Amino acid sequence: MKVLIIGAGETGYFIAQGLSEESGIEVVLVDSKRQHVENLQRSLNIAGVVGNGTSLRVLEQAGIESCDILIACTDHDETNLICCLVANHYKVPYKIAVTRTDSFLKRKTVQRYMEGGVSQVINTSVLTAQEVIATATYASATAVSVFGERNVLLIGYKMREDSPWKDKMMFEIRSAHANQDFLIASIVRDGESFLPTGRDQVLEGDYVYILAPKKGVEALDDMLHTKVAHNRRAVVAGSGYIAQRVALGLIHSHFQVTMICDDPVGYHQLKEKFSHHKGFHLLQGELSNVKLQLKQEVSTAALFVAVGKLDESNIAAALVAKYLGAVKTIAVVNRQDLVEPARLLDIDVILSPRLSTARAVKKVIQGDTSSKLNFTTISETDMEVREMIVSEKSPLARKALKEIKIPKGILIGALVQESGEVLIPKGDTVIHAGDRVIVVTLPETAPKLKELVDP
């Protein structure tokens, strides 16, 4: 498979990085800035072409005639859409346009571009808002993904100083909660993820990713001594498109929402837009203003979301809210060089729109958009979580898990039977054809995974 990526910014980098690690995928990158192309060629060892992605000459130089998928992810929405339309001329089978603004979100507009040959429009703002709302639903979760028709959850937790699992061995955690259905599927430490064994230790600062049946999530909160809010009050700091989508999503989830607007011009527009929503309050001021947050009793809020235009303001606002006592704080950080440093601070969740976009693009390439099979990556590592259906010819079918030789680097984390029952598999669990398996793996083991589940 040949993938042509237009745009070598941070979004393009993340997409290229994930795809370059997949066997059988050839990646070619196009960008108008020579420095960007050379940087990616050095770090990812992929082919690159310097030039404008809307130029036929440049596209032909990049080999668009033999391209299977084109991904346009420059910083300009119009350029991305034009690239996809131009790719139509070369009969590229699948074209993905990444957009950021709300200008191209209206259904009729998107439909018009789809009819013109754009296969998929992925909007970064929408993805970010969806991720904020999904994460906000669960008390101390740093990340949430759903599998098995929403019956299985992958939830990330940050191990804090007071966590009961801190410094515990994996086998000790398992023994202490032998009657609970859950599996620690991956641990992220210092930006690297690994599949833990029984002798691995959970350390302060680790991000622990757990697979569990949806109905068992409350038990996880009890096990981890998670602080749960006793109200549905949320504060959204920011006034842009993402902030507005987050506020509306939280209102529909029955939160009472206060929005802090740092844009004097947009204040009156927001006031009019949200005027008919009960329980909504709008204030004008600096996002990280301590007096303003105190006045709004942020100290008793269940949720504080900082989603302004400036990363530094979002980080500062979330830190103030956490200091004042907000139960859960979320900060949206666009600049990738700030994401890791921000995760070292006392903020519960740091969300990267670029990472969310890269995950969405990779899911499209995995071919799961038309089905209900989910795919995600863990944090910004290359660890993948895939949902697959066991075929009749699979070596897994009609066998107990302990009888199957599973390749190194593959973990079968959860199982959804055709009846809908969710199992966290043990050695004597029998897998049947038609069952959904949720598997944690690395990109390089993907071919082996395919042979194992659906040869």
Neighbouring-strand partners of residue 304: 235, 329
3-state helix, strand and coil shares in percent for the chain, rounded to the nearest 5: 35, 25, 40
- Rounded to whole angstroms, the Cα distance separating 43 from 19 reads 13
Confirm if 453 and 391 have CB atoms less than 8 A apart.
yes
3-state secondary structure at position 200: coil
- pLDDT number for residue 165: 96
Helix or strand or coil: residue 248?
helix
CA dihedral 97, 102, 105, 106 (to 10 degrees): -150
Neighbouring residues of 91: CB distance < 8 A, sequence distance ≥ 6: none
Which residue has 């329980």 as its token pair?
A: 279
Three-state secondary structure call for residue 451: helix
Distances in Å between the Cα of 6 and the Cα atoms of 36, 41, 72, 137, 324 are: 12, 14, 5, 35, 44
**What pLDDT is stored for residue 17 in this prediction?**
85
Domains of the chain: 2-118 (3.40.50.720), 140-223 (3.30.70.1450), 229-356 (3.40.50.720), 382-453 (3.30.70.1450)
Q: Measure CA of the first residue to CA of the last residue in the chain; give whole Å.
A: 19
With tokens 């200091």, the residue in question is 323
Cα–Cα distance, 26 to 46 (Å, whole number):
8
**Per-residue pLDDT tens digits of the chain, which is 455 residues long:** 899 999 998 889 888 987 887 778 899 999 999 998 998 888 888 899 999 999 999 999 999 999 999 999 999 999 999 999 999 989 999 999 999 887 766 667 777 777 778 888 999 999 999 999 988 888 778 889 989 888 999 999 999 898 999 999 999 999 999 889 999 999 999 888 999 999 999 999 999 999 999 988 888 888 988 876 678 899 999 999 999 999 999 999 889 999 999 988 889 889 999 989 988 999 999 999 999 999 888 998 999 999 999 999 999 999 999 999 999 999 999 998 899 899 889 999 999 998 889 888 888 887 644 456 788 888 767 788 999 999 999 988 998 999 988 888 899 999 999 888 999 999 899 999 999 999 999 877 877 888 888 87
Q: Output the pLDDT for position 370.
A: 45
pLDDT tens column, 215-263: 888 888 889 888 766 788 999 999 999 999 999 999 998 899 999 999 8
184 beta partners: 210
* Distance in angstroms (rounded) separating the CA atoms of residues 334 and 315: 11
pLDDT in tens, 131-188: 999 888 887 788 899 898 889 999 999 998 989 999 999 999 999 998 899 999 999 9
Is residue 187 a contact partner of residue 206, using CB atoms and an 8 Å limit? yes
72 Cβ neighbours under 8 A, 6+ residues apart: 6, 7, 53, 79, 80, 81, 83, 84, 95, 96, 97, 98
pLDDT of residue 110: 72
Q: Where are the alpha helices (DSSP H) in 194-279?
A: 217-223, 241-252, 264-273
Asked whether the beta carbons of 360 and 127 are under 8 A apart, the reply is yes
294's tokens: 């105190």
Contact assessment for residue 280 and residue 247, using Cβ atoms and an 8 Å cutoff: yes
Q: How many CA atoms lie within 13 A of 182 on its CB side?
A: 29
pLDDT for the residue 369: 46
Q: What is residue 14's predicted lDDT score, i.e. its pLDDT?
A: 85
CA distance 258 to 233: 8
Contact 336, 351 (CB under 8 A): no
**pTM value?**
0.86
CA-CA distance, 215 to 418, in Å (whole number)? 18
Beta strands in 313-435 (DSSP E): 329-332, 349-351, 375-377, 384-389, 399-400, 410-416, 422-423, 430-431
